[in-house]
Amino acid sequence: MIAVTGAGGQLGHALLESFPEARGLTRAEWDVTHPAPPGLAPELVLHAAAWTDVDAAEDDPQGAAAVNVGGVQHAAALGVPLVVWSSDYVFDGAKREPYVESDPASPLGAYGRTKLHGEAAAGERAWVVRSSWLFGPTSKNFFRTMLRLGAERDEVAVVADQVGCPTYVGHLAEATKEVLQLPHGVYHVSAAGECTWADFAEAIFEEAGLATRVRRITSAEYGARALRPPYSVLRSERGAPELPHWREGLRACLSRPAAASPAPE
């Protein structure tokens, strides 16, 4: 049996579509800040449960660590092969060219630190998949927020000085099958291409047929509590699977019926 943690989230949802034989465990069924439920005996754990609120991690670093580090420790304690997902935010963005697996990590904030420590907690029988800017038709994410705001407003202010790879969770989940054929270790798996958040927002509005304008602003103007890397494009030097271009992921996501429902506040 394959166990998928965080089954209520966007990545967990996508994994259950790609691995229909798996058992999904929502937070109600396994809060990963605690050990696994008694009797759970999977052959493989796809550990998608995570604290993903980057700014809130600055306010509650211990809470973020309880999920992103302690949760991985509890999943690893099952003693079976494990896949964990990490983040481009383990890097500081100073390199200004694509990051590969051997580049030294240097997170800027609490969220990135917890993801990096979670990588270490995964152990030797794990695949660590670093990805970036995840979006999908369910849960709270930038894509769904832009669809909601685009339907409500004529103009939306979006940061234009951060560059990354928006990655569709459906493509990432499918690529996990290929990752499982590789030796254990760290792999970078993100969409092809790169863009700013403002570029991504403009593409969302264009593909969705919305006339909303994007007003480009700086990270400083946006005023988020957590620092983000200004450049966090991920590429693989280890033969990780290559994903389609982020724009293809956007079109695939928009074709899903759930994408039309309002994003949570």
Within its chain, how far is the Cα of 204 from the centroid? 18
How many domains, in total, are found in the chain?
Answer: 1
pTM for the full model?
A: 0.94
Which one of the listed residues 89, 99, 111, 231 is annotated catalytic? 111
- For residue 116, being part of any structural domain is answered with yes
Instruction: Sort strands 2-5 and 23-25 into parallel, antiparallel or unpaired.
Output: parallel
- For residue 79, being part of any structural domain is answered with yes
How far, in Å, CA of 83 to CA of 148, rounded? 32
CATH of the domain at 6: 3.40.50.720
Taken as a whole, the chain contains a residue count of: 265
- For residue 37, being part of any structural domain is answered with yes
- For residue 214, being part of any structural domain is answered with yes
What pLDDT, on the 0 to 100 scale, is given for residue 225?
86
**Residues 132-161: pLDDT tens digits?**
999 999 988 999 999 999 999 999 999 999
111 is catalytic: yes
What pLDDT, on the 0 to 100 scale, is given for residue 265?
46
Query: Can you give the C-alpha Rg of the chain in angstroms?
Result: 18
- For residue 149, being part of any structural domain is answered with yes
- For residue 265, being part of any structural domain is answered with no
Does residue 76 contact residue 126 with C-beta atoms inside 8 Å?
yes
**Residues 189-239: pLDDT tens digits?**
999 999 999 999 999 999 999 999 999 999 999 988 889 999 999 999 999
Residue numbers of the domain that contains 51: 2-260
**Residues 20-49: pLDDT tens digits?**
999 999 999 999 999 999 999 999 999 999
Does residue 84 contact residue 120 with C-beta atoms inside 8 Å?
no
